[in-house]
Amino acid sequence: MKIREFLRLRKLNDTVKIMCIFALAGAGFFINVLYNAEKLYHDMQSPVEYQLVRGNTVTNAQLSELAQIEDVAAASRSLDVPITIRYRNQEATMICTMLSKSYMETAYGILISGSEKKFYVNETAFEEIQAGFLRNNVSFEKEGTTEHGAEYKIQYLEEEAGTEEENMPQTISHSAWLVILEEKPEQEAALICTVEEGAKLSKKANSVRVLFAGHDLDGLRLTNLKKMGYEVQNEQVLAMEEYEMKIRLHHIQYGILICAICLVALYYMKKNVPELVGLRTDRSICA
């Protein structure tokens, strides 16, 4: 009887029609609030990488200081070096980031095993490398598959100091593997990295990669890192991500406000319809 009575009033009374509109609007904004809240929570809890640089090499004390910051999951010296790879007598140069083993395992989920040299690249970077070889009519052929993805046998060239008699660096060719990482949705930029635990990283690296367990919306983290003497190389990317999260936060705040306004409007409009006394104003009925 209550449902039948309400449906009759909806046809005859303009106030009831307006109440239905407010109820539907409130339900729609409530769903939008839930959606944005779930997205914002996921983004806030997802790891974020800061690429930091100093004017001089990073000491052990400075690296330890970064690792002790709240919410830091991993930290490593970082060194970008040009690497020449050779495949079927064709060569191409790529910029490779040298990182510690523990950082690569924590930040990228790469399980390092074996003694062979491996260069890990995501699909974006591999497409760029492959395009260079395709211009010379050379295409990569897969030689195996790991838990991370396809792998290709290559050669890479490295300069080594020559003897006193030669007084010139020598270019030595080494065998290595090119391992293609399965693309992650958030990984749009090209990534080329390899493990380096030797003196090359500790003596030459003036940059650091720090992985935080979650994002920072108030900007205090960025301010503190700058006070410590670091410049954030990927600040623009981080700012864009934080801007998108703030937009979601505004959607949540305004959505809650509109839901509250709809509820208040429904409460007072119900008082102006005597026939609704004792009837349940349910959104599912309005739908």
pLDDT in tens, 125-143: 888 888 888 877 788 888 8
> Could you tell me what percent of the chain has a pLDDT over 90?
31
Q: Judge contact between 111 and 73, C-beta under 8 A.
A: no
Backbone phi, psi, residue 154, to 5°: -135, 175
Residue 169 has a pLDDT of 62
Arithmetic mean of pLDDT, 247-258: 94
Residue 282 has a pLDDT of 46
Token duo for residue 64: 């330890």
pLDDT in tens, 188-245: 678 889 998 777 788 888 899 999 999 988 888 999 999 998 999 999 989 898 999 9
How far apart are alpha carbons 30 and 24 in whole angstroms? 10
Residue among 106, 90, 79, 125 at smallest CA distance from 211: 106
pTM: 0.77
